[in-house]
Amino acid sequence: MKYAAILSLFTLSCLFTGGCSENKDQQSAPAKADVPKPPPSPNQFSGLQEIGNELNELIVAGDYAPVTAQLLELRDNIVKTNDGFNAYFAITSSMTENAEMGDAYLQWLKQEPDNPIPHVLYGLWCVNEAWNHRGGGWAYLVSEIGWENFERYLLEAKGHLVKAYELDPKEYAACAQMITVSMGDSDKGDVMMWLERATEHNPTFYMAYDKVAYALYPRWQGEDGESLAFIKEHIDIDPTFQWMLVDWIESESDDADKLEDKDSQTALRIAHEMVERYPDSGFAERRLAVLLRCYGMDEEAMVHYQKAVEKDPSVKNLRAYAYRLYKLNRAVEALELYEQALELEPNNIETLEAIARCYHYGDGVYNLDKAIELYQLLMKLQPGDRWTPINLGDCYLWLHQYEKALNEYQYTVKTWPRFGAAYYRLGKAYYLMDDKTKAELAFTKAIDLDPDYEDNIARFLKEQGE
């Protein structure tokens, strides 16, 4: 443990004042190693992620009482971050990003079945696990076992989140997550019911309203214009609600002329205003950076990506800045930031994927053995992702270990039989193993599933002298 005892979060907040002042007198200044690290702040996402990591360690050790006390203090006092967001929702979301915490949460449930906190944590973890098994992308590409596990974990999540609310109706984080579960069940009535429950004890709970706004997009449960109407109806509840409008503009840009403000840069204007309103917010800086990049202002965007990390080195801020550095061929710097993010949220799948990508492709950090090790770990943590075995196979292919590459590609086409990229890779492996008949069959299948692969195949054959 980094901290012998976990202090009251409000004590931590008072102690964390932005860092220690530096004594310019070299003789009287203490040695750097003697300067204690400030305790993490519950008013920053990065501080909450660090505290959450400590709480997960306590859970693994079976020391549940201080975890319950800390989380209830955040929940019942409706502590907010410097960005204006709910700290309790943020920390529970962060804790459950650790893909290997499921068994520890279950063990806690066995010991304290009437405590709502472990029900919340396990329920949130199950939602993540459901998506890890389903994988991203279009529904038709999801494997049969992926769908089975997706439905199984969502059902389990629903049971624990509802139980948490039954045990304590103030459990607004569980209610907010039930909005997402109800959205998946295509039940608009339940969506609105859980919004009412989530905001009964926390009327300005941004995430509850944000989840409903998303559920009302036409692709889910809403009619044309319904999400925007909902946002406009509630936007004055709290300044953070402006971000819902930004999200809507980004997601429904084709319908942006429906806004009363016809300015095409409404989202950018809001982001600038939010940076001014919340001067300590790394979140606002990151959102502004994303919008600036969308408008083609890349240099200015990089300034704000960096400011986001300086103000709050949270996992998302670190990853966002690292990704832009990676795209600029600055993989060494990117990898350092990704590793910082992994310290805050161990076993975070998105961060592990980014680190694997650096080792797989990055200048200055290129290391296929390390990439293979990470892809093998990701295969266990995220079995529903069809690209992980592809990436693993590509590493083997580059190392001329064709049999191993072939095994990964064969596994992929068996699990995801409508995935064109897998057949394209399979064809390459067969070709390099001098089995051109099977290579031709695989290439033909890849083109049938995705005609865009015809150009890729032509380039590959040309490189081979065909």
Q: What is the DSSP string of 337-392?
A: HHHHHHHHSTT-HHHHHHHHHHHHH-TTT--HHHHHHHHHHHHHH-TT-THHHHHH
Q: Which residues pair with 80 in a beta bridge?
A: 86
**327 Cβ neighbours under 8 A, 6+ residues apart:** none
d(CA 194, CA 234): 16
* pLDDT tens by residue, 126-138: 999 998 898 877 7
**What would the two tokens of residue 390 be?**
């592809």
Query: 246-250 long-range contacts, Cβ below 8 Å, gap at least 24?
Result: 246/270, 246/271, 246/287, 246/291, 247/210, 247/213, 247/214, 248/213, 250/291, 250/294
Euclidean distance between the first and final Cα of the chain, in Å?
60
Q: Note the Cα 447 to chain centre separation in Å.
A: 33
Given a contact cutoff of 8 angstroms between Cβ atoms, the answer to whether 456 and 424 are in contact is yes
* pTM reported for the whole predicted model: 0.84
**325 Cβ neighbours under 8 A, 6+ residues apart:** 331, 333, 334, 337
| pLDDT at position 22 | 33
386-466 is classed CATH 1.25.40.10: yes
- Rg (C-alpha) for the chain, rounded Å, is 24
Q: Identify the CA nearest to 274 among candidates 234, 309, 304, 310.
A: 304
**84 Cβ neighbours under 8 A, 6+ residues apart:** 206, 238, 239, 240, 278, 281
257 DSSP 8-state letter: G
* pLDDT tens by residue, 136-178: 777 788 888 889 999 999 999 999 999 999 999 999 999 999 9
Length of the chain, in residues: 466
Given a contact cutoff of 8 angstroms between Cβ atoms, the answer to whether 150 and 384 are in contact is yes
Quote the percentage of the chain above a pLDDT of 90: 75
Element (H, E) at 401: none
User: Scanning the structure block, which residue is given the tokens 């992994």?
Assistant: 342
- Whether the per-residue pLDDT at 27 is higher than 60: the answer is no
Report residue 34's pLDDT band, with 50, 70 and 90 as the boundaries: low
d(CA 263, CA 388): 42
Maximum distance among all Cα pairs of the chain, rounded to whole angstroms: 77
Q: Identify the CA nearest to 370 among candidates 392, 350, 387, 400.
A: 392
| pLDDT at position 10 | 33
User: Scanning the structure block, which residue is given the tokens 């702040």?
Assistant: 41
**144 Cβ neighbours under 8 A, 6+ residues apart:** none
- Whether the per-residue pLDDT at 251 is higher than 90: the answer is no
d(CA 426, CA 416): 13
* pLDDT tens by residue, 428-451: 999 999 999 999 999 999 999 999
- Whether the per-residue pLDDT at 107 is higher than 60: the answer is yes
* pLDDT tens by residue, 310-346: 999 999 999 999 999 999 999 999 999 999 999 999 9
Report residue 253's pLDDT band, with 50, 70 and 90 as the boundaries: low
User: Scanning the structure block, which residue is given the tokens 């926390």?
Assistant: 202
Four-CA torsion 439, 356, 359, 322, nearest 10 degrees: 130
* pLDDT tens by residue, 254-292: 444 444 444 457 888 899 999 999 999 999 999 999 889
* pLDDT tens by residue, 49-76: 999 999 999 999 999 999 999 999 999 9
**What would the two tokens of residue 49 be?**
């992620």
Q: Note the Cα 289 to chain centre separation in Å.
A: 18
| pLDDT at position 4 | 33
Report residue 308's pLDDT band, with 50, 70 and 90 as the boundaries: very high
| pLDDT at position 294 | 80
Higher pLDDT, 30 or 370: 370
Give the CA distances from residue 214 to residues 206, 223, 229, 252, 462, in Å, rounded to whole numbers and listed in that order: 12, 12, 12, 11, 46
* pLDDT tens by residue, 374-427: 999 999 999 999 999 999 999 999 999 999 999 999 999 999 999 999 999 999
- Whether the per-residue pLDDT at 26 is higher than 60: the answer is no
Given a contact cutoff of 8 angstroms between Cβ atoms, the answer to whether 120 and 92 are in contact is yes
| pLDDT at position 35 | 60
Q: Which residues pair with 86 in a beta bridge?
A: 80
Quote the mean pLDDT of the chain. Answer: 88
Given a contact cutoff of 8 angstroms between Cβ atoms, the answer to whether 414 and 165 are in contact is no
